[in-house]
Amino acid sequence: MEDAKILVNIILLILGLSVPCGARDVAASNPTAAAPAAAAAGPAASTDSSGLSAVAGLGVNWGTVTFHPLPTETMVQLLRDNGIKKLKLFDVDHEILTALAGTDIEVMVTLSNGQLAEMGSLDSAKEWVKVNLTRYLDLKGGVNIAYVAVGNEPFLKDYNGTFDNVTFPALKNIQNALNAANYNHIKATIPINADVYYSPDDNPVPSAGVWRDDIADLMDQIVAFYHNNSAPFTVNIYPFLSLYYGKGKFPVDYAFFDGNPNPLMDKGAAYTNVLDANYDTLASVLNKAGYKDMPIIVGEIGWPTDGDSNANVTLAQKFYKGLVKHLAAKKGTPLRPNDQMNVYLFGLIDEEGKSILPGDFERHWGIFSYDGQPKFDLDITGKGGQNTLVGATDVKYLAKQWCVVNPSVTNKTALEENADYACQNADCTSLGNGSSCSSLNDLGQASYAFNSYFQNFNQQNASCHFDGLATLTTKDPSTGSCKFNVQLAPPPPPMAPAPAPGLDSADGPSGSHSGSSSDHGTKSGSVQSALVPIATVVSLLFGLLAYLCLCA
Ligand SMILES: *[C@@H]1O[C@H](CO)[C@@H](O)[C@H](O)[C@H]1NC(C)=O
Ligand SMILES: *[C@@H]1O[C@H](CO)[C@@H](O)[C@H](O)[C@H]1NC(C)=O
Ligand SMILES: *[C@@H]1O[C@H](CO)[C@@H](O)[C@H](O)[C@H]1NC(C)=O
Ligand SMILES: *[C@@H]1O[C@H](CO)[C@@H](O)[C@H](O)[C@H]1NC(C)=O
Ligand SMILES: *[C@@H]1O[C@H](CO)[C@@H](O)[C@H](O)[C@H]1NC(C)=O
Ligand SMILES: *[C@@H]1O[C@H](CO)[C@@H](O)[C@H](O)[C@H]1NC(C)=O
Ligand SMILES: *[C@@H]1O[C@H](CO)[C@@H](O)[C@H](O)[C@H]1NC(C)=O
Ligand SMILES: *[C@@H]1O[C@H](CO)[C@@H](O)[C@H](O)[C@H]1NC(C)=O
C-alpha cells in the first residue's frame, strides 16, 4: 500500500514535468485527433479493424537541425516508402514544402516562438498566411497543410512567462486569417508541454487534473477559442523524460506499455503507463472546462537511442513497439475510451546540430540515423505483417575512411587536449556514461573524437592532423554498438551547400536548435591547421543564432 502511494506520488510528480530552456521546445501536430464521437476525422483513420491498420497515419516530426542533411527529395521518398502520411515541421521550410507538393502527406507547419509577437495584428497574420501558406497551397498538386502550430511549447515554465502575452493573440489572428482566406479547414493549435497541467499532491490522480495556476485563465480562453474553431488541443508527452528526470525514482514499467503489476488506480480505472495517465490528466481538465469531445493531438512522443543509460536501441524499440501496439488496440484511455490517439513521433531522423543542454540524448531521437537508415525494426505503416522501417536509398557517403589516433602516440596530455578540441567542434555524445561508445578506452575515445571531427569537416585532409597525433585508416574502427560514422557526401560543388538547417525554425524536443556542436572555441596551438570549411562555419553560426533567439 505504502509502495503504491509512493508510486502514485512519483507519477504525479512527473506529470508536471518541466524542462530547461533549450529543452523541450516542442511542437505538436496534428489535429483530427481522435475526435471521439466525430470519429474518423483523422486522415488515415482507417476502418480496417485488423490489428496494426489502426495505426496507419501515425505522424512524425521532422526536425532539421543538422549540418549534413540528406537531400530533401531523398527524405520525402523515405517518408513515402514508409507510408508516413502525417508530418510535423518546426518551421515553414520552402524546400521541404515544395518537395511535398502533390503528395498526399498531410503537414503541420510551425510559426516559431520568436514570430509570435509579430502576429499581434490580424493584418500581419494575413500577410503571414499569404506569404507562407498560400504559395504552397497553390503549388501544382498542392501541399496538404492541415495545421499551423502557433509557437512551440511557449508556456514552458522555464520561459518565465516570456510568451504568455503574445501567444493567444497570435493564435487568434492566425486562425482568423486562415478563416478569412477561406482556409477554415486548416487549424491553428499551440503545441504545449505537459507542464501546463498537473494533479495536486494531495490527490495525485488524472481525474484531479487542473491547469497550472499562472496560466489557468489563459488556457481557459485558448480552449474556448479552439472549441469555437473546431481546433484540436496539442500536447507533447515524453515518457523517456519522465524516466530521465525521475532520476531512479520513476517506476520504469510506467514508461513502457508492457503492463504493470502496480497500476495507478483512479476511480476504478487502472493506469499502467504514463502516456495514458498524462493524456487523461489533460482530458479531465478539458472535461471540467466543458469540452469533453475536444480532440487531443500528441504532438511529440518518442525515445532516443543514445546519450543516456536509458537511451539505447533496445529500449527505444521496446517503447515504439509497445506504443504502436497500444494505439492499434484502439482502446483509448479510461477517460477517453473512444479516442484513437493521434500521435506524432519524435522524431524522424537524428539531428547532430541540436543543443545538448537537456542531455546528450538530444541528438539521438531519430527512428532513422543521420544517413536515413532504420535503427531498429518497427512496423509503423499500420499494415501489419512483415512491414518494417525502410531505409533511405541512393545515399551518397564520403570515402570509406576514418581518422584515428596514430598508434605510436605517447604524449597522453597532448592527446587529451586534442581530443577535447575535436569534441568541442564535433559530436561526442556517444562517449558519455551509458552511451554506445562509453566502453572505449582512452585511445579509443580519442580516436572517436578525431573521427567525428574529421567527418564533420567533410574528411578534409587537414582535419585529420591534430599535431601529428592522428592518422587515416580504411579499416572501420567500429565495435559492437559503437559506430564510427562515415559522413554523407556534401552536395555537388557548384551548388552551395545546403543553407543553415535550423535558422528560424523551432525544432523539436528540446532544444530546438542550437548549434552547439560547434562552439568554435579558438584553442591555440594544436589544431590551427584544421581547415574549417566556410559553409560549415556558416551553418554552425546560424544554428547558434537560432538557439540564442529561441532561448533569449
Ligand atoms: C513568413 O511570412 C513573413 C511575412 O509575414 C516573413 O517575414 C517570413 O520570413 C516568412 N517565412 C517564414 C518561414 O516564416
Ligand atoms: C527564468 O528565471 C530563472 C530564475 O530567475 C532564470 O535563471 C532563467 O534564466 C530565466 N529564464 C528565461 C528564459 O528567462
Ligand atoms: C504581460 O502583460 C502583463 C499585463 O499587461 C504585464 O504585467 C507583463 O509584464 C507582460 N509580460 C511580458 C513578458 O511582457
Ligand atoms: C466563442 O464563440 C462564442 C459565441 O460566438 C463567443 O461568445 C465567444 O467570445 C467565443 N470565444 C472565444 C474565445 O473566441
Ligand atoms: C539498454 O538500456 C538498459 C537500461 O539501462 C540496459 O539494461 C540494457 O542492457 C541496454 N541495452 C543495450 C543493448 O545496451
Ligand atoms: C606533451 O604535450 C603537452 C601539450 O601539448 C606539452 O606541453 C608537453 O611538452 C608534451 N610532453 C612531451 C614529453 O613531449
Ligand atoms: C560514469 O560512471 C562511472 C561508473 O559507473 C562513475 O564512477 C562516474 O562518476 C560517472 N561519470 C559521470 C560523469 O557521471
Ligand atoms: C589528401 O591526402 C591524400 C592521401 O595522402 C592525397 O592523395 C590527396 O591528394 C589529399 N587531398 C588534398 C585535397 O590535399
CA distance 198 to 206: 8
CA distance 180 to 128: 13
Q: What is the pTM of this model?
A: 0.84
Q: In this predicted structure, what is the pLDDT of residue 461?
A: 86
Q: Find the domain containing 464 and state its range.
A: 402-518+535-551
CATH of the domain at 465: 1.20.58
Q: How far is the CA of 168 from the centre of ligand 6 (A)?
A: 59
The verdict on 270 and 139 lying in the same domain is yes
C-alpha cell at 536: 560549415
Q: Is the pLDDT of residue 35 over 60?
A: no
The verdict on 119 and 266 lying in the same domain is yes
C-alpha cell at 41: 476525422
In a domain, 389, yes or no: no
Question: What ligand has the least distance to the C-alpha of 409?
Answer: 6
Q: In this predicted structure, what is the pLDDT of residue 492?
A: 76
Q: In this predicted structure, what is the pLDDT of residue 382?
A: 64
The verdict on 356 and 504 lying in the same domain is no
Across the strands, what pairs with 409?
A: none
In the residue annotation, 95 being an active-site residue is answered as no
The verdict on 433 and 335 lying in the same domain is no
The verdict on 422 and 345 lying in the same domain is no
Report percent pLDDT > 70 for the chain.
Answer: 78
In a domain, 227, yes or no: yes
In a domain, 391, yes or no: no
79 versus 517: which is more confidently predicted?
79
Are 343 and 298 in contact by the 8 Å Cβ rule? The answer is yes
Average the pLDDT over 362-372 and give the result.
98
Are 159 and 34 in contact by the 8 Å Cβ rule? The answer is no
Q: In this predicted structure, what is the pLDDT of residue 494?
A: 57
In a domain, 357, yes or no: yes
The verdict on 344 and 414 lying in the same domain is no
Are 215 and 164 in contact by the 8 Å Cβ rule? The answer is yes
Last-in-domain residue among 340, 363, 386: 363
The verdict on 40 and 113 lying in the same domain is yes
The verdict on 239 and 101 lying in the same domain is yes
Q: In this predicted structure, what is the pLDDT of residue 149?
A: 98
Name every residue whose Cβ is closer than 8 Å to that of residue 149 and which is 6 or more positions away in sequence: 27, 28, 29, 88, 108, 109, 110, 111, 189, 190, 191, 234, 299
- pLDDT tens digits, 71-89: 999 999 999 999 999 999 9
The verdict on 25 and 131 lying in the same domain is yes
CA distance 64 to 452: 19
Strand 264-266 relative to strand 233-236, pairing = unpaired
545 versus 96: which is more confidently predicted?
96
In a domain, 372, yes or no: no
Are 422 and 470 in contact by the 8 Å Cβ rule? The answer is no
Q: How far is the CA of 169 from the centre of ligand 5 (A)?
A: 46
In a domain, 396, yes or no: no
Choose one of 219, 221, 228, 230 to mutate for the ligand 4 pocket test, by most ligand atoms within 8 angstroms of C-beta: 228
Are 40 and 47 in contact by the 8 Å Cβ rule? The answer is yes
In a domain, 524, yes or no: no
Average pLDDT value for the chain:
82
C-alpha cell at 322: 509497445
217 lines ligand 4 (CB under 6 A): no
Report percent pLDDT > 90 for the chain.
Answer: 74
- pLDDT tens digits, 246-296: 988 899 999 999 999 999 999 999 999 999 999 999 999 999 999 999 999
- pLDDT tens digits, 37-77: 222 222 223 333 333 445 656 999 999 999 999 999 999 99
Phi/psi of residue 55, nearest 5 degrees: -90, -5
Query: Which atom number of ligand 1 is nearest to the Cα of residue 505?
Result: 13
The verdict on 422 and 339 lying in the same domain is no
SS3 403: strand
Q: How many CB atoms lie within 10 A of CB 347?
A: 25
Structurally, the chain folds into a number of domains equal to: 2
In a domain, 47, yes or no: yes
SS3 268: coil
Q: Give the lowest-confidence range in 100-104, 401-405, 546-550.
A: 546-550
Burial zone of 422 (CB within 10 Å; 0-12 exposed, 13-18 middle, 19+ buried): buried
Q: Is the pLDDT of residue 134 over 50?
A: yes
